[in-house]
Structure 1
Amino acid sequence: MKTKFDTQINHIGSSVTDFLGEKMLILFGANAPAELADYCLLIDVKEVEGDIEVRDTLQLGNNEYKITAVGDAVKKNLSSLGHITLKFDGSDTPDLPGTLYLEDLDITEVKSGDQIRIFS
């Protein structure tokens, strides 16, 4: 198992649950613009080691989700801003460059301090 990305949730914006119906979570580093921070899981910005690929696994707290598609800008945005969208819809075509697509499973509740890891 090779860890490609490892960070933690530092703050959960007050409006994060607004996107759960659309099966989305938005990650952003601590420098998130104030008007967006309420909709984001604020994380430590860390470098992505290697390429994020289909069939890698995203761990969110105690749950794991298989990656089904990777937008072109995911690695760059995650490494520089900590900003990507997690979309839990099982899509195998990356429609948006800053979105990481995951298997179509229920999103479990996340807490401050939860780890977010991507590994192969």
Structure 2
Amino acid sequence: MTVYKTKVNNIGEEAELFQEEKMVILFGENAPAELAEYCYNIQVNPIEGHIAVGQHVYFGDVPFEITAVGDVVEKNLQDLGHITIKFNGESIAELGGTLYVEDKEMPEVNIGTKISIQ
């Protein structure tokens, strides 16, 4: 079951800097200007259900298993389209707005890339 789906509308000039830290920052259409340049801008859509460990985040057709879910991920994604996805396989969510996924090669993210949580 698909819990969330969106697509990348724009990429901030500095968004790729966070790849070295194995993270992607998503933010909806209303990202503050001072943050937008560091984010992958997405369309804000409703969440249908709950995001849980064991589900997968898909970037296009490439799945990443969710290993931990911060306590405000659902609220932030629903309200702002704003979460950080960290590709380090952590099983404890240290940051409330971060979704942690398995530690493997990060996906290529471009304008038009579809992102879903299933």
Q: Please tell me the TM-score bracket, short chain as reference.
A: over 0.9
Q: Across the two proteins, how many residue pairs are aligned to each other?
A: 118
Q: Deviations over 1:63-107 (max 9, x none)?
A: 110000000000000000000000000000000000000000111
In the alignment, is residue 54 of structure 1 matched against residue 53 of structure 2? Answer: yes
CA distance in structure 2 between the partners assigned to 1:108 and 1:114 by the alignment: 10
CA distance in structure 2 between the partners assigned to 1:20 and 1:6 by the alignment: 22
Give the equivalent residue in structure 2 for 1:105: 104
Root mean square deviation of aligned Cα: 0.7
The alpha carbon displacement at 1:108 in A equals 2.2
SS in 2 for 1:80: helix
Identity fraction in percent: 50
- Normalization by structure 2: what TM-score? 0.98
In the alignment, is residue 25 of structure 1 matched against residue 19 of structure 2? Answer: no
Structure 1 counterpart of 2:98, one-letter code: T
- Normalization by structure 1: what TM-score? 0.96
Structure 2 counterpart of 1:93, one-letter code: I
Give the equivalent residue in structure 2 for 1:3: 2
In the alignment, is residue 70 of structure 1 matched against residue 50 of structure 2? Answer: no
Structure 1 counterpart of 2:51, one-letter code: I
Give the equivalent residue in structure 1 for 2:11: 12
SS in 1 for 2:75: helix
CA distance in structure 2 between the partners assigned to 1:40 and 1:62 by the alignment: 21
In the alignment, is residue 40 of structure 1 matched against residue 39 of structure 2? Answer: yes
SS in 1 for 2:106: coil
Give the equivalent residue in structure 1 for 2:89: 90
CA distance in structure 1 between the partners assigned to 2:107 and 2:73 by the alignment: 22
Deviating beyond 6 angstroms after TM superposition, the runs of 4 or more aligned structure 1 residues are: none
- Segments of structure 2 that go 5 or more residues without pairing to the other structure are none
CA distance in structure 2 between the partners assigned to 1:13 and 1:89 by the alignment: 23
The alpha carbon displacement at 1:16 in A equals 1.0
Structure 2 counterpart of 1:86, one-letter code: I
